[in-house]
Structure 1
Amino acid sequence: MSAIILACPRCASRNRMPIDRLTGDGKCGKCGAAMFNGRPVELTAANFDRHAGADLPLVVDFWAPWCGPCRTMAAVFEAAAAGVEPAARFAKVNTEAEQQLAARFQIRSIPTLAIFHKGREVTRQSGAMPAGMLAQWLEAHLPVPG
């Protein structure tokens, strides 16, 4: 039985979880939080690398509160998180609050979605997308966990 390493959505501690238990109700070994809750995780400079470096693919929405297309995209992104987890972790980075992350990844327009897997950026897409287009983009680019 193979296992993957993933970060807790609450405390960002690394946890080892058997792949066949991803659809279960796994809890963090440190804080006891559910490993999956169907909602995007808020990322900061302090916890970004723990999530991006995990074996579980990470889909990140780089956004800002003043951005109209970002607010439109938020509902689509949250619905995708509920439908795709536990095949991937979904997260949001507020580029206004986390300017160093936005600079690190050279985010020039928002919203920008990026997929990370095992510490590396796989792909990115700028601009708001309707649900169907987001689903197609995820299907085409989302790596298999592990």
Structure 2
Amino acid sequence: MNVTIYHNPDCGTSRNTLALIRHAGIEPTIVEYLQKPFGREQLIKLLDEAMLRPREALREKGTPYAELGLDGAGVTDAMIIDAMLEHPILVNRPFVVSPLGTRLCRPSEVVLDILPPVTKPFIKEDGEVVIDIDGRRAR
């Protein structure tokens, strides 16, 4: 199965998502989007496939969100896309693309919706159980 993760290695959610993909026996294509930023068409396609409006994929914490005035009235989707292209850190992460769909994987276990069934136990790096010893999703 071909899977692509738009990854930020400094993000715990992104690291956990990558670990879940690998736990499913898949070695994904890893795109570190802060090093290799999105093109306009690529970002729009990713948002469309994930069925998200730009604001729904906009990261506020640790970004220039407020400084750019993205929290103000009258901010359009086009303005958000432009800001995301200029400042890729504004794109929330991680996005994962698989033949089963595209998701913004927050929380990381959302990725399980677009992977083959995983029944082996999995625990996040912070100790949270995602798949229990009986192979069931913990949530």
Scaled by the length of structure 2, the TM-score of the pair is: 0.38
Scaled by the length of structure 1, the TM-score of the pair is: 0.36
From the two aligned structures, give the one with the greater helix fraction: 2
